[in-house]
């Protein structure tokens, strides 16, 4: 991606909603050195840690080139036309007003610069096919589809973000007046199959074990209910589909424990 984006020709990078700078620490080494970096995040606690992370990662870069700032994506505390590359990763999906953040990022990127938005459509991850899917009645799967669709609609309606935003971004950029737009898909899959012994699979297995004894799986029941109902779902839909969901999660965990569960988890994001 760095080659496609010709990052070697860029010497400044702004990461909006930088969190702990995981994303910008990956990109930064591909820029023309010594590159200027600014990370912006709404959360004060991430900003301080992000500064430590980025400076520790690139100890030979003069620290005044590496700044982190507290600020909102819809009111970015950076001058107009000031960065060669402006980017965000999994940030627009959480915003009530993603279009306002896009406008701000376009203001900050210099004319002819590059805007890189890495945002998913997470919806498909809720509907992946696994070694258990064939045993589930079609009615249960259709109900689960409705459950998650209503959940995502409710969440967006509550102003808590749109986790399907990835599919809408190219059009949003076109509507914002951009013409040179490219769309790429991640080719990574979080496949899980016995004996689950790669580092990535071990991490997934370990994550699941945290919730093995939970009556609600990994989910916050009241948050799910609020959004399913907010998306026009009924209590009956919620109760049935939620029970089925937790049941499926538990069967998945049992399958992992005895080494029978598997899935490609190749959902496009
Ligand atoms: C899922 S994290 C992604 C962090 C980072 N981009 C990465 O890929 O590692 C979302 C980040 O967006 C930040 N964020 C959420 N709403 C924001 C806003 N309105 N303005 C700026 N940052 C925001 C959060 O504090 C969090 O650090």
pLDDT in tens, 179-194: 999 999 888 888 999 9
Ligand 1 atom with the smallest distance to the CA of 118 is 8
Ligand 1 atom with the smallest distance to the CA of 88 is 6
Ligand 1 atom with the smallest distance to the CA of 72 is 20
Of the candidates 48, 11, 17, the one whose C-alpha atom is nearest the C-alpha of residue 32 is 11
Q: Which residues have CB under 8 Å from 178's CB, separation 6+?
A: 106, 115
Task: Among 15, 17, 101, say which to mutate for ligand 1: greatest number of ligand atoms within 8 Å of CB.
Answer: 17
pLDDT computed for residue 268 by the predictor:
60
The answer to whether the CB of 104 is under 6 A from ligand 1 is no
Where do the domains of the chain lie, and which CATH numbers do they carry?
7-119 (3.40.50.150), 123-160+188-257 (no CATH)
Which residues, in sequence order, are bridge partners of residue 68? 39
CB 15 within 8 A of CB 47: no
The answer to whether the CB of 115 is under 6 A from ligand 1 is no
What is the spatial distance between Cα 145 and Cα 182, in angstroms, rounded to a whole number?
Answer: 30
Cis peptide bond upstream of 74, omega within 30: no
Q: How far is the CA of 136 from the centre of ligand 1 (A)?
A: 36
In this prediction, residue 269 has a pLDDT band, given cuts at 50, 70 and 90, of low
Overall pTM surpassing 0.85 (yes/no): yes
pLDDT in tens, 90-136: 999 999 999 999 999 999 999 999 999 999 999 888 888 999 999 99
């Amino acid at each position: 991606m760095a080659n496609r984006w010709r990052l070697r020709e860029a010497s400044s990078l702004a990461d909006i909603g930088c969190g702990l700078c995981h994303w910008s620490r990956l990109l930064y080494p591909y820029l023309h050195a010594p590159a200027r970096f600014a990370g912006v995040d709404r959360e004060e606690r991430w900003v301080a840690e992000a500064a430590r992370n980025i400076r520790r990662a690139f100890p030979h870069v003069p620290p005044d080139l590496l700044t982190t700032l507290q600020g909102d994506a819809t009111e970015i505390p950076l001058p107009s036309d000031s960065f060669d590359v402006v980017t965000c990763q999994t940030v627009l999906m959480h915003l009530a007003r993603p279009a306002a953040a896009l406008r701000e990022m376009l203001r900050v990127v210099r004319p002819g610069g590059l805007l890189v938005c890495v945002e998913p459509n997470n919806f498909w991850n809720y509907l992946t096919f696994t070694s258990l899917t064939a045993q589930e009645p079609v009615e249960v799967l259709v109900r689960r589809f409705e459950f998650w669709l209503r959940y995502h609609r409710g969440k967006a309606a509550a102003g808590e973000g749109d986790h399907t935003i990835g599919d809408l971004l190219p059009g949003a950029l076109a509507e914002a007046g951009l013409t040179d737009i490219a769309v790429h898909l991640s080719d990574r899959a979080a496949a899980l199959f016995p004996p689950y012994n790669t580092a990535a699979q071990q991490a997934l297995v370990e994550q699941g074990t945290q919730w093995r004894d939970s009556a609600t799986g990994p989910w916050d029941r009241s948050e799910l209910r609020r959004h399913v109902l907010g998306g026009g779902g009924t209590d009956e839909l919620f109760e049935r589909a939620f029970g089925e969901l937790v049941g499926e999660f538990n069967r998945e965990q049992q399958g992992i424990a005895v080494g029978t569960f598997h899935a490609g988890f190749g959902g496009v994001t």
